[in-house]
Amino acid sequence: MSSVAAPPEPGRVRPRGVAGHAGAVWSRVAERVRAHPVQATVAGVAALVLVSLWLRTRALDAGFWIDEGISVGIASFPFFDIPGVLKLDGSPPLFYLLLHLWMQLFGTSESATHSLSLVFALLSIPTAYWAGRSLFSARVGWAAAALAALNPFLTYYAQETRMYAMSATIGLVVAAAFLHLFVARDRRYLPVFVVALTVQLYSHNWAIFLGVGTVVALAALWRWAEATERRALLRDAVIAYGATGVLYLPWVPTLLYQAAHTGAPWAQTPDLQALLVAVGLLLGGATPAIALLLVAGNGLAGRVRTEADRRTAALIILTVAAALVAWGLSQISPAFANRYLAAFVGPLLLLVAVGLSNAGRLGLVTFVLILAFWFDARTGQIETKSNARSVGTSIQTLVTAGDLVVSTQPETLPLVKYYLPQGVRYANALGVDDPRVFDWTDALDRLNAAKPRATIDSLLRTLRPGQELVLVQPILRTANWRAPWTSLVRKRSIQWERRLDADPRVRREAVVPVFGYDRLPRGIRAIVYRVR
C-alpha cells in the first residue's frame, strides 16, 4: 500500500518562517526589477534624491556667513560687469553669473540663494550613479549614488551660497569622462571631458589641481599602454587639453592678475595634519573616514590586480595627485582651505564606492553603518556658522539713513550690508569702499598703510552730531588669527575700538551682542557710537 502524506488539518497552515517570507518578497522585487530595469533605476535614483532633499533642506534658511555675503554682493552687479568685478576678488566667474540669473528669478533671500547649491548637490546623485555604473558595475553605481545622497560635506554645502556643491558635482563628471575617454578609450567622451573640465575651471581655481591630477593619471596610462596605443592616446590628449586651454584662455589674464595681486593672505601654510583633517571632513569626520579608508582601501587593493584595474588605478592616481599637488603648492603660496577640496570629493566618493563594493561582507556592513552615521542634517553646524543675521536685526533699530557702518574686517562688509536697511552708509578699515565686494588687490599692504587715526578722522568728518557710527568687528576669540591678513585684522580691530573709546567726538551707546557666560558665537560684534 502506498503511503500518502496527510493533508494539513483544517485551519492550520504550515509556517514558512520569516526568512522564507523575506526571501519570497525579495525574489518578487528582483523579478520586477529585471522586467522593468529602466523604471526601477529611475525609481531608485528618485527615492535617493527625495531622501537627500529632505536631509538637505533642514537648514535651508540659515543665515549667511562672510563668503555668502560676498557671493550675493558680487552677483548683484550687472551681469556683464561680474567678470571684471571678480578681478578684485580672486575667483572665476561661472557661479556668480549663475547666481545673478538665479536671484533674478527667485530673489536674494537665504533660502532662495541656497537653493542653487541644493540643485547641484542633488544632481550629484544621478551623476554618481551614472559614473559608477557606466565605469564599473550597477553595484558600484548604487553605492556611489547613496554615498552622494547622504555625504555630510555635500549636505553642508547644499545649504550655502557658494560654488562648492557645484564644483563637487562637476568634478565627478570630469573624473568619469576622463576614465571613459583615456582608459575605456571611448572617444565619444572627448567633448564631455573638454566641457566638464572647462566648466570646472570657470567654477573654482582649484579645478586647476584637478586638471593636473588628470595629467598625472594620463602619464601613468601612457606608460602602461602598448606602443601601438600610445600615439592614439597622445592624439586625444592633445585635442582634449588643447581645446580646454583655448576655452579657458580668455580668463587666463584675469587669473594671472589675481594670482599676483589678490592671493589668499588669510591662509596659513598647511601641514600634513591639515590635509588629513580636510580629507576626513570630506568623509564626514575622522571616525567614518578611517573606517572608509581602511575597508574601501582593502577593496581597492584587490581591484587593481584585475583587468578593470586600470580604471581604478587611474582614479586613485587622479584623486591623490590632485590633492597632493594642491597641498604641495600651498607650502609655497598658502591658499589652503578645507572647503576647496570640493573639487575632489566626487572622485573620492566614486573611489569609496568601488572599494566598498569589492570588500565583501565587511564592505557591505561598513557601507550600511556609514550611511546610518551620515544620515544627519547637522543643522547645528550650519545655523551657527555666523551670528551676522541676529546682530543685523538687533542694530536695525539703532541706525537710520545717513549713519555710517565701519567694518574692521573689510571682507565682512558685503555680509553686514545684506542685513542692514537701505540708506546706511558703509566704510571699512581702509576707508570708504563699495560694500558689495571687497577689493583684495594688494590688500595686506593697503591695510598696513591705513592707520586708524587718519581713517577715523576722515570718516568722522562725514557725520553730523546725533548720527551713529557703528563699528563692526570680528569676534576674535573664536578663530585662529595667525595668518598675515587675520593677524593684521585682529590688530586693527583692537586699535579702532580703543581709539573710538578715547575720542571725545563720540560716545559709546550700545554693544551687540552682549556676551554672558555662554559659549561665544562665531561671527561679528557691533559697537554703536553717537557723534556728540
**Domain residue ranges of the chain, discontinuous segments joined by +:** 35-379, 388-531
CA 54 to chain centre: 19
Q: Which residues of the chain have pLDDT under 70?
A: 1-30, 32-33, 36, 302-308, 516-517
pLDDT at position 3: 47
Which of 117, 80, 113, 92 minimizes the C-alpha distance to 414? 113
User: How many CB atoms are closer than 10 A to CB 343?
Assistant: 28
Total residues found in the chain within this entry: 532
Helices (H) and strands (E) in the chain, counts: 24, 6
Tell me the residue type at 320: V
Tell me the per-residue pLDDT of 475-518, one tens digit each, with 9 for 90 and over.
Answer: 988 777 889 999 999 999 999 999 999 999 999 999 999 876 57
Strand order in the sheet with 524-531: 431-432, 425-428, 404-407, 468-474, 524-531, 506-512
Element (H, E) at 528: strand 524-531
**CB-hemisphere CA count at 13 Å for 19?**
0
Tell me the per-residue pLDDT of 39-62, one tens digit each, with 9 for 90 and over.
Answer: 889 999 999 999 999 999 999 999
Which is it for strands 425-428 and 431-432: parallel, antiparallel or unpaired? antiparallel
Tell me the per-residue pLDDT of 399-443, one tens digit each, with 9 for 90 and over.
Answer: 999 999 999 999 999 999 999 999 999 999 999 889 999 999 999
